[in-house]
Amino acid sequence: MRVLVTGGAGFIGSHVVEALRTRGHEPVVLDVRTDPVADVRSPGAVRDALSGVDAVCHQAAMVGLGTGFADAPEYVSRNGLGTAVLLAAMAEAGVRRLVLAGSMVVYGEGRYACARHGAVRPGPRAVADLAAGRFEPACPACGADLAPGVVDEDAPADPRNVYAATKLTQEHLAAAWARSTGGSAVSLRYHNVYGPGMPRDTPYAGVASFFRSALARGEAPRVFEDGRQRRDFVHVRDVATANVAALTADSAAGSFTAYNTGSGTPHTVGEMAGALASAYGGPDPVVTGEYRLGDVRHITADSSRLRAALGWKPEVGFEEGMREFASAGLRDG
C-alpha cells in the first residue's frame, strides 16, 4: 500500500514511516521540515503528494498547550485549515482511507467518581486553588475528594485550550469528509507519547522531553504541582504500529471511529521523572509545586477498544522504555 504521511519527518511521523517500510508498504512524506513548500495548507503541494496514494496518515500539526489566544490563528491555520485542505484534495483524488493523529486533550479532565454523586466531570481548576497547592479537582456538586479513573472513547469532549479545540476540529472535519465521500476515517487519540527522536526543549515538547533535556544538562528534572498527576505514557514505536494497524484494517464506508492509544498502565509524572532520572544516573527530580494554567490533573486511557478492534497491543513496557529513552538521541525542533 502506498501511504502519504503528512508530518512524516517529525517525531511520531518518522516512526510511522519506518513502521510502514518494515511491513512492506510504501510511505510518501509531505513535511515542511524536508521541503519548505510542502505545507499541508498548500493545495498544489497536497495534490501532487496524493498522486498514486492509497491512504493518508495525517500526522502534521502544530502541537503544544496553546493556553492563550495570541497563537490561536496559527493553531487554527495549521491544524484546522491544513486538515481541510488535505481532506478536500483527498475527496478530489478519490483517496478514501484516512488515519488521523488525534489526542487525548479533546477530553479535558479525565474520569472521576465521587463517593456520593458517582461519575462527575469537574470544571477547570481555580487559580486560587492551584496557588494554594490544592491540585486535586473537587466534586462540582459537594466539594468532596474525587477518585480518578480511566477515560473511554464515549466520554464527552471538553477541550480546554486552543490546541485541544483544534484537535477536536480535525476529528469533526474527518467525520464530515467520511460521510460526504464514503471514505473511512480513524482518529488515534494519542496519550503521552515519548521515545527516541523527541524534540528537545521546545515550547511544544512533551514533559518527558523536558525532563530528558534537563538531565542531559546535568540538571534535576523539575516536576510541577506535587508530581502525582496521572498520565498514560506510551512509546512512540507502539504508536507507530497502531497507525499501521488502523491503516490496514477493514473499515466501513462513511465511518469515523476514534480509538484511545495508550499503554493502558497509568503512572504519575513524578514516577516517570524518577524512572528516567534513575536510568540516566541522576540527578533526582525536584517537585516544585509550580503549575501551568490549562493543564489537567489526571487523564489516562482505556485503550481496550483499540486492542479488541484492531488486534493491537503495546510492546514496550514503562521501565524498558524509560531505560531506552534515557540514552536516546533527541532532535532539535
Q: Angle, nearest 10°, between helix axes 318-327 and 207-216?
A: 50
280 tagged catalytic: no
Q: What is the pLDDT of residues 282-325, one digit of tens each?
A: 999 999 999 988 788 999 989 999 999 999 999 999 999 999 99
Question: Out of 3.40.1380.20, 3.30.460.20, 3.90.79.10, 3.40.50.720, which CATH number does the structure's domain 2-110+151-327 have?
Answer: 3.40.50.720
**Catalytic entry in 75, 107, 112, 163:** 163
Q: SS3 of 261, please?
A: strand
pLDDT of residue 202: 63
| Strand-strand pairing, 111-114 and 147-149 | antiparallel
| Strand-strand pairing, 230-231 and 192-194 | unpaired
- What cell was used for 158? 471538553
Half-sphere exposure of 206 (CA within 13 A, CB side): 24
Model pTM score: 0.94
Q: Going edge to edge, which strands form the sheet with 111-114? A: 118-120, 111-114, 147-149
Q: What is the pLDDT of residues 159-217, one digit of tens each?
A: 988 999 999 999 999 999 999 999 999 999 999 999 999 988 765 567 899 999 999 99
Q: What is the pLDDT of residues 96-134, one digit of tens each?
A: 999 999 999 999 988 999 999 999 989 889 999 999 999
Instruction: Please give the average per-residue pLDDT across 56-85, as a whole number.
Output: 90
pLDDT of residue 69: 85
Half-sphere exposure of 280 (CA within 13 A, CB side): 28
Q: Where are the domains of the chain?
A: 2-110+151-327
- What cell was used for 185? 476515517
pLDDT of residue 86: 98
Q: How far is CA 120 from the centre of its chain?
A: 24
Instruction: Please give the average per-residue pLDDT across 204-231, as a whole number.
Output: 91
- What cell was used for 153? 472513547
pLDDT of residue 129: 95
